[in-house]
Chains A and B, each alone.
Chain A
Amino acid sequence: MDTAKSIPAVRVKRSRRKQFHNSRVLLLMCCPAVIFFCIFAYLPMPGLYLAFVKYNYTNGIFGSPFVGWDNFKFLIMTGDLWRLTFNTIAYNLAFILLGNIAQITVAILLNEIRKKWFKKVSQTLMFLPYFISAVLVGLLAYNILSYDYGLLNGVLGALGMDPVKAYSEPHLWPFIIIITYLWQTTGYGSIIYFAAIMGLDTEIVEAAEIDGANAFQRIVHIVIPWLKPTFIILLLFSLGGILKGNFGLFFNLVGANNTALYASTDIIETYVFRSLMTNFNFSMGSAVSLYQSIFGFVVVLTANWIVKKVSPENSLF
């Protein structure tokens, strides 16, 4: 059998042409995906030039008058940029931290349960919210929060308490959005931690039990430290996306035109969406997008730099 082909040492330094020739089929196989990303991801990028012009429809993107940093100055002066950045980052931090804590809690408790059927049924139910559309999530929330018919006001009424006008009270929304997020993602997200606990060596647990560790000590001193590396990696991964908002969740929970709630619910994605579909201010939307992309890029590089220090094998590049 001719094995020479597969032994790298035998290979002489190939010319570029030869290299291309040898991988031409594999290159062709990558073509559809490369073309896809060229069109849908790279082609729009030059459009960010919109951020530096005062866009009007007749002149198009590259014919509209150049205004330099004016759009950004406007966003800073009105305070919009600061509010959007704060909301987006604050929500994402809450999602990441509370989300991971909830996932770890569910995974640990699920692991303590012995009855197999209970585990299966509860897991299926807990995964359910993850697989429904954002539109349905919005409707489910409406069922609970609606002033006139919602379950919440029904319960409050039965307890003799005043009804809550949820859809016009901005200060309630951080709680509503975070709880909905946790409701939707905790079950599915806990799988990672659950799988990690499964990888825990039973001998260590047995040894600890022989030494007289009780259940709390087992969880605090063995299981939680065991999950720490997973937690750190997931944390750093999600930090990279800290400027990317979950548009579907916010848009469907808050509603398209509920101005009363913008102070506490407006994130970068919803602002850009409005600038496109409601205000037709394409330049302002693009300015926010450009800011988001560059700021986000810097954050990813930083997060990756930290990952490289903490655990080099998990770094992205």
Chain B
Amino acid sequence: MDINSKMDLIGSNPPRPARIRQDKSEIIVRWAGYIFISLFAISCLLPFLLILGTSFTSESAVKQHGFNIWPHEFSTFAYQIVFENPKLIIGSYLVTMGITVVGTIVGLFIVAMTGYALQRPDFSYRNRISFFIYFTTLFSGGLVPFYLLITQYLELKDNYLAVLLPGLLTPFLIIMMKSFVRSIPHAITESAKIDGAGDFTIFLRLILPMSTPALATIGLFIALGYWNEWYHAMLFLSPDMDYRPLQLFLYNVVTSADFIRNSAASSNVAMSDVPLETMKMATAVVATGPVILFYPFVQRYFIKGITVGAVKG
């Protein structure tokens, strides 16, 4: 069955005949569904509420009662300190947004271009190049040579490019693009060629505009990767950089009390009064909240991605 028509059914109920009879088993299964799914869905939400609740609690209440979804003692003190020196968090936001926007545009263009070329049946080298790309998922040099390459040979330590470049494309995204392009009839390319259009023009003028749903999905995957990126940032950006990507900032806040104290140093709070625990939560809310609110609106593109990616490329 065609994957796209299958996807249209998600979220809507399949046409079902009226039940011949509502026997006991139907009712049991349905209730089991409601109960189990409800519990799981709530358990997915609960930890987020725990962070949100704790971030609005006073540090003394946390010390006494622990983390709680409902604040024992309401306080916005942690947020006040986070925003006392807004340069840090705003700088982090700008760095992450910059890397995400540039990386997504460049990466998406390369992925789309490569995916289209590798899907053209009349491209003689497509199998060889496809394998060249696919092989990198089978065998890799591992972390140490990669680290030495970036730091010693490309000399990208403490350079945002060390975060931007490695995240541009993955074999998986190129395979996903290939599956998407496959649904565009080759006849379109052929007729354009007969009309005298070059391969790149066909890609730019015909294929790109026709594959906007694919571009949205792949672009969101790349953007999500950059937004959540902390690994390369942790490896290649040194701790004394002023503005670090958001997730690295969050990582430093979560793992280092000294980092929290230093970032709160410019405020008028005594070192011993810095609310260590609630500041972790407040930083997490500030760093993640806006994106989580945005995410239900783009969810359907991610759904499309996994079902296309699941079929072989």
Name A residues whose Cβ lies closer than 8 Å to a Cβ of B.
1-3, 5-6, 19, 22-23, 25-30, 32-34, 36-37, 39-48, 50, 61, 105-106, 109-110, 112-114, 116, 118-129, 131-136, 138-144, 146, 148-151, 153-154, 183, 186-189, 191-192, 194-195, 198-199, 202, 206, 209-210, 214-217, 219, 234, 247-248, 252, 255-256, 269, 272-273, 275-277, 282, 285-286, 288-290, 292-294, 296-297, 300, 313-314, 316-317
Q: Which of B36, B38, B114, B235 has the most CB of A within 10 A?
A: B114
What separation, in Å, do the CA atoms of A204 and B305 have in the docked complex?
29
The answer on a CB contact under 8 Å between B41 and A33 is no
What number of residue pairs across chains A and B have CB atoms under 8 A from each other? 318
Q: Does B25 contact A (CB under 8 A)?
A: yes
User: Which chain B residues in 224-255 approach chain A with CB under 8 Å?
Assistant: 224, 227-231, 235, 247, 250-251, 254-255
Give the nearest-CB partner of B26 in chain A. Answer: A215
Question: How far apart sit A183 and B266, CA to CA, in the bound complex (Å)?
Answer: 39
Given contacts A134-B228, A140-B51, A206-B17, contact A126 B174 (CB under 8 A): no
A44–B194 CB distance below 8 A: no
Q: Kindly list chain B residues whose C-beta atoms are within 8 Å of the C-beta of A28.
A: 200
Given the interface pairs A112-B29, A112-B30, A198-B10, the reply to whether A139 lies near B133 with Cβ below 8 Å is: no
Q: Which 6 A-B pairs have the closest CB atoms?
A: A47-B145, A289-B142, A44-B141, A44-B145, A133-B228, A214-B25
- Report which of A105, A149, A214 forms a contact with B62, defined as CB distance below 8 A: A149
Is there contact, CB below 8 Å, between A202 and B136?
A: no
Q: Is the CB of A41 within 8 A of B140?
A: yes
The listed residue (B110, B251, B254, B281) touching A36 by CB distance below 8 A is: B110
- Given A44-B146, A113-B33, 14 new contacts (CB under 8 A): A29-B114, A30-B114, A32-B110, A61-B145, A109-B36, A123-B11, A126-B40, A128-B295, A131-B295, A132-B292, A143-B67, A143-B281, A192-B307, A282-B148
Instruction: Map CB proximity to A onto B1-39 as digits: 1 under 8 Å, 0 otherwise.
Output: 101001101111111110110011110111011101110
Docked-complex contact A282 and B44, CB < 8 angstroms: no
CA distance A106 to B35 in the complex (A): 11
Partner of B10, one of A37, A195, A234, A294: A195
Central interface residue in B54, B129, B140, by most chain A CB within 10 Å: B140
Cβ–Cβ contact A116 & B284, under 8 A: no
**CB atoms of A114 and B30 under 8 A apart:** yes
In the complex formed, the residue of B with least CB distance to A61 is B148
Minimal beta-carbon separation of A204 from chain B (angstroms):
12
Q: Chain B at the A interface: mostly helix, strand, loop or mixed?
A: helix
Q: Are B30 and A113 in contact (CB under 8 A)?
A: yes
Give B249's nearest chain A residue, CB to CB. Answer: A135
A–B pairs, 16, beta carbons within 8 Å? A23-B124, A33-B111, A40-B149, A44-B142, A47-B145, A116-B13, A121-B41, A135-B254, A143-B47, A149-B62, A151-B67, A154-B68, A202-B16, A215-B30, A234-B310, A317-B131
Find out whether the CB atom of A128 lies under 8 angstroms from the CB atom of B48: yes
A191 near B255 with CB under 8 A, answer no
Cα–Cα distance between A292 and B141 once the two chains are bound (Å): 10
Given known contacts A128-B44, A316-B312, A191 and B306 CB-to-CB distance under 8 angstroms: yes
Residue of B nearest to A217 (CB): B25
Q: How far is the CA of A293 from the CA of B24 in the complex (A)?
A: 53
Report the Cα distance A97→B72, complex, angstroms: 41
Chain A's nearest CB lies how many Å from the CB of B291?
8
CB closest chain-A residue, reference B311: A314
Residues 111-136 (chain B) with a chain A CB within 8 angstroms: 111, 113-114, 116-118, 120, 122-125, 129, 131-134, 136
Q: Which residue of A lies closest to B298 (CB)?
A: A131
Which A residues are CB-close (under 8 A) to B113?
29-30, 32-33
Instruction: Identify the interface centre among A30, A119, A144: most chain B CB within 10 Å of its CB.
Output: A30
Size class of the contact patch on chain B: 35 or more
B213 at interface by CB-CB < 8 Å: no
Which residues of A have CB within 8 Å of B166?
40
Q: When chains A and B are docked, how far (Å) is the Cα of A281 from the Cα of B51?
A: 38
B280 proximal to A (CB < 8 A):
yes
From B13, B38, B110, B143, contact of A114 by CB (8 A)? B13
Which B residues fall within an 8 A CB radius of A?
A: 1, 3, 6-7, 9-17, 19-20, 23-26, 28-30, 32-34, 36-38, 40-45, 47-48, 50-51, 54, 62-63, 65-68, 110-111, 113-114, 116-118, 120, 122-125, 129, 131-134, 136, 138-149, 153-154, 165-166, 168-169, 174, 190, 193-194, 198-200, 203, 224, 227-231, 235, 247, 250-251, 254-255, 277, 280-281, 284, 288, 292, 295-296, 299, 302-303, 306-307, 310, 312
Whether A47 contacts B148 by the Cβ 8 Å rule is yes
- Residues on the A chain within 8 Å of B1, using CB: 199
How far is it, in angstroms, between the C-alpha of A50 and the C-alpha of B142 when the chains are bound? 11
By the criterion CB–CB under 8 Å, are B194 and A1 in contact? yes
A149 surroundings in chain B (CB, below 8 A): 62-63, 66-67, 277
Query: Measured between alpha carbons, how far is A216 from B145 in the docked complex, in Å?
Result: 54
Contact of A22 among B117, B124, B292 (CB under 8 A): B124
CB distance from B217 to the nearest CB of A (A): 13
Docked pose: A296 CA to B139 CA in angstroms:
8
Chain A residues near B116: list those with CB within 8 A: 29
Q: A residues within 8 A CB of B54?
A: 143
Nearest CB on B from A151, distance (A): 6
Query: What's the Cα separation between A129 and B40 when bound, in Å?
Result: 12
Say yes or no: A210-B20 contact (C-beta < 8 A), given A127-B302, A293-B142: yes
In the complex, which of the residues B43, B66, B199 contacts A26, with contact meaning CB atoms closer than 8 Å? B199
Q: Which of A105, A119, A123, A139 is within 8 Å of B284, CB to CB?
A: A139
Report Cα–Cα, A105/B39, bound state, in Å.
Answer: 13
Q: What distance in Å separates the Cβ of B24 from its nearest Cβ neighbour in chain A?
A: 8
* With known contacts A139-B280, A149-B62, A149-B277, A19–B47 Cβ distance under 8 A: no
